[in-house]
Amino acid sequence: MNRLNKWLSRWLPDWAAEQLEAENRRLEARVKELKAENARLNAYLDGLEVGLRAQRRVIVQTGGGSESV
């Protein structure tokens, strides 16, 4: 990162470097926000999965009884 900062300060105008750094900060905040949303959605999915596994299983019997006609 230090090499990038040196390159930016050497070759980019000040306004461009400041704009680039501001955009990077904005994007880092967006990434953090999306990671938090992703964690929340994964927790929701985990809860759904646990709920579905906890339901009683339905056993369907398709005949084979000793009924006589």
**5 in a structural domain:** no
Q: Look up the pTM and report it.
A: 0.60
**65 in a structural domain:** no
pLDDT at residue 45 in the model: 96
**16 in a structural domain:** no
The string of pLDDT tens digits covering residues 16-68 is 888 988 999 999 999 999 999 999 999 999 999 998 888 887 778 887 766 65
- Split into its structural domains, the chain has a count of 1
Residues 6+ apart with CB under 8 A from 64: none
**38 in a structural domain:** yes
Q: How many residues make up the chain in this entry?
A: 69
20 within 8 A of 8, measured Cβ to Cβ: yes
**17 in a structural domain:** no
Residue of 8, 30, 3 lying closest to 18 (CA atoms): 8
Find the domain containing 38 and state its range. Answer: 23-54
Residues 6+ apart with CB under 8 A from 47: none
**44 in a structural domain:** yes
